[in-house]
Chain A
Amino acid sequence: GNSVTQMEGPVTLSEEAFLTINCTYTATGYPSLFWYVQYPGEGLQLLLKATKADDKGSNKGFEATYRKETTSFHLEKGSVQVSDSAVYFCALSDKAAGNKLTFGGGTRVLVKP
Chain B
Amino acid sequence: DTEVTQTPKHLVMGMTNKKSLKCEQHMGHRAMYWYKQKAKKPPELMFVYSYEKLSINESVPSRFSPECPNSSLLNLHLHALQPEDSALYLCASSHVVRDTTNSPLHFGNGTRLTVT
Contacts and interface: CB of A to CB of B under 8 A. Distances in A.
A106 B41 contact: yes
B116 interface: no
Interface stretch (B11-19, B59-67, B73-81, B107-115): B107-115
Nearest to B96: A99
Interface residues of A, number: 23
B62 to A, nearest CB: 22
Nearest to A6: B42
A106 B31 contact: no
A98 B97 contact: yes
Nearest to A87: B40
Given A100-B56, A103-B43, A106-B41, A32 B102 contact: yes
Contact of A44 (B40, B90, B101, B103): B90
Q: How many residues of B sit at the interface, in one of the four size bands? A: 20 to 34
Interface stretch (A19-27, A45-53, A71-79): A45-53
Highest count of chain A CB atoms <10 Å: which of B92, B102, B103, B106 = B102
Contacts, number: 58
B90 A100 contact: no
A45 B107 contact: yes
Interface in A54-113: 89, 93, 95, 98-101, 103-106, 108
Interface of A: 32, 34, 36, 41-46, 49, 51, 89, 93, 95, 98-101, 103-106, 108
26 contacts: A32-B101, A32-B102, A34-B104, A41-B109, A42-B2, A42-B109, A43-B90, A43-B108, A43-B109, A44-B105, A44-B107, A46-B104, A46-B105, A46-B106, A49-B102, A49-B104, A93-B97, A98-B48, A98-B55, A98-B56, A99-B97, A101-B43, A101-B45, A103-B43, A104-B42, A106-B41
